[in-house]
């Protein structure tokens, strides 16, 4: 995205380009203390398919109405 375009339309920096959101990744990186976290493997085996299924249901409701 060119600098001149952003001067004419400053809100485009936040709506057209989502790269600025990567600054939020600094938070968990700075909070990392070098130790392995607790094992939550079974949680993610259930959570991941469940949230994909939920997003599919919500999308099908939105796009079929």
pTM here?
A: 0.45
Other Cβ atoms less than 10 A from the Cβ of 17: the count is 11
16-59 pLDDT, tens digit per residue, is: 777 778 889 999 999 999 888 888 888 889 999 999 999 999 99
Spatial separation of the C-alpha atoms in residues 41 and 52, rounded to whole Å: 17
């Amino acid at each position: 995205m060119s600098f001149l375009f952003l001067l004419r339309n400053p809100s485009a920096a936040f709506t057209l380009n989502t790269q600025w959101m990567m600054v939020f990744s600094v938070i968990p990186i700075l909070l990392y203390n070098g130790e392995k976290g607790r094992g939550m493997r079974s949680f993610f085996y259930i959570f991941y398919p469940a949230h994909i299924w939920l997003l599919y249901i919500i999308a099908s409701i939105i796009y079929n109405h």
